[in-house]
Amino acid sequence: MLFLHIFRLFCVFQDVLRNILDLNESVIQNEEFVRCVSGGKLFPGSVPLAHRYGGHQFGYWAGQLGDGRAHLLGEYTNRKGERWEVQLKGSGKTPYSRSGDGRAVIRSSVREFLCSEAMHFLGVPTSRALSLVVSEEPVWRDPFYNGSVIKERGAVVLRLAKSWFRIGSLEILTRTGELDVLRTLLDFVIKEHFKSIATNDPDKYVVFFSRVLNETAHLIAHWMSVGFAHGVCNTDNFSLLSITFHYGPFGFMESYDPNFVPNTSDDEGRYSIGAQANVGLFNLQKLLEALKPLLTSDQLSQSQQILREYPQIYHQRFHELFKAKLGFLGNEEKDSYVIAFLLKLMEDTGADFTMTFRQLSEVTLSRLQKGSFAPSLWALSDLSSHKHFRDWVQLYLQRLSRIMSDSDEERQHRMQGVNPRYVLRNWMAESAIRKAEKNDFSEVTLLQKTLMEPFMEQEEAERAGYATKPPSWAQQLRVSCSS
């Protein structure tokens, strides 16, 4: 691990500190605590280790990978009986660092620190982040892989998850023929994290695969419902517990665009936001291949049938989430058409994804029918420029009118509870990072506060322009994998 000679704790998420780690906020003033979260000293009883895994990256087997800059410090059981694996990212070299230095920089660390908590408060299953420590020691990086190496400052994030095991954790064992270890690891994961599966069930690996498939489909549908593109959906970044982790070149969509790609390294758009569901299917196929040596022929046939059910499971959850975003109750045959129609209008007009749904939850139905919008409803104004906007509005109003005893206020309240006003847009993160690199963490702190209540209008966030029309360059902003 790394000893940071000059380090400073800049940011802490109090929710994680209090409700996961059972600590009082006064602990952040303790020098020993700061040394522990920076990688300069071990927590009592900690025996650090790094995890070995493999993975398919951009569709191709990449061989052995592993934690190149993350140290697992141990497991903590809190007062509620929850068990959390505690990890430092950016804390120095590990056996899997290869030619890397095991460090992380402010740029990538701020993004992970903010986004993991932003996703949690959006209701998306995710890893969590406690702290952000910054060092004065230089770290050399080539952010855009063009030969232009620059000096940046190091940073360390303390992050937590119920488990850091991923599809690649199993793949590497199958690929190297370590089938006894594969069985041991699977049995451990099932015993610890899938407690409803009986350990003596002869079909437990089939049931496990079915659970992972269902939850993965639901997770990706949830990503889509908040306009989130992960950016690097490799099998080494897909959790066996179906949580979101590895916050690298992610992005929340500005204008609705199924081809939105936040990652500068993804020239072919393999991991575009619209391709995420299909990539999920590919990754689950690789999971089944990893499980195959432990399955009988009948169990393999069952699992293959389960895999074929993935598209239906995904689309069902996708439509459930988007119906809620539109305020629909119950099910009607044409609901999917109304959703698809709206998304097509948004794509054609470049309407903002987040604020179109949010402003639909804020506007009255009478105002929507008139189609004349105040400047504050800028996303709906953009959408209304489409020649078929009024056709969609009529379909939408007719659908809402069939909800018995539903008032405008009830609909608005229902929709505002699932349509955020604020998400971590890349331009907001970049603005905060530029200031943080000059030791000004005021915007990181403001984003912390804002993203903890993404569904509530907040005065400071409004003054900062977090709900106004994004700058013209925001749609083209992409993020480097270099961290």
Catalytic residues: 236
Give the span between the Cα atoms of 209 and 206, in whole angstroms: 5
Residues 135 and 469: beta-carbon distance below 8 Å: no
Give the span between the Cα atoms of 153 and 110, in whole angstroms: 12
Which residue in 88, 52, 83 sits closest to 162, CA to CA? 83
What is the rounded (10 degree) CA torsion for 168, 169, 175, 181? Answer: -170
Q: Measure the CA angle with vertex 221, ends 220 and 227; round to 5°.
A: 90
What is the enclosing helix (H) or strand (E) of 393? helix 389-401
C-alpha torsion sign, points 107, 110, 116, 119: negative
Which residue in 239, 73, 54, 218 sits closest to 160, CA to CA? 73
Residues 285 and 302: beta-carbon distance below 8 Å: no
Give the span between the Cα atoms of 434 and 106, in whole angstroms: 9
Amino acid at 360: L
Give the span between the Cα atoms of 298 and 206, in whole angstroms: 10
Give the span between the Cα atoms of 392 and 388, in whole angstroms: 6
Give the span between the Cα atoms of 84 and 57, in whole angstroms: 27
Strand partners, 69: none
What is the enclosing helix (H) or strand (E) of 110? helix 106-121
Residues 173 and 291: beta-carbon distance below 8 Å: no
DSSP one-letter code for 237: G
Residues 447 and 227: beta-carbon distance below 8 Å: no
Residues 37 and 156: beta-carbon distance below 8 Å: yes
DSSP one-letter code for 72: E
Give the span between the Cα atoms of 52 and 286, in whole angstroms: 17
Strand partners, 228: 252
Q: Is 444 helix (H, G, I), strand (E, B) or coil?
A: helix
Q: What count of residues does the chain have? A: 483
For residue 331, the number of C-alpha atoms closer than 13 Å in the C-beta half-sphere is 6
Backbone Cα Rg of the chain: 23
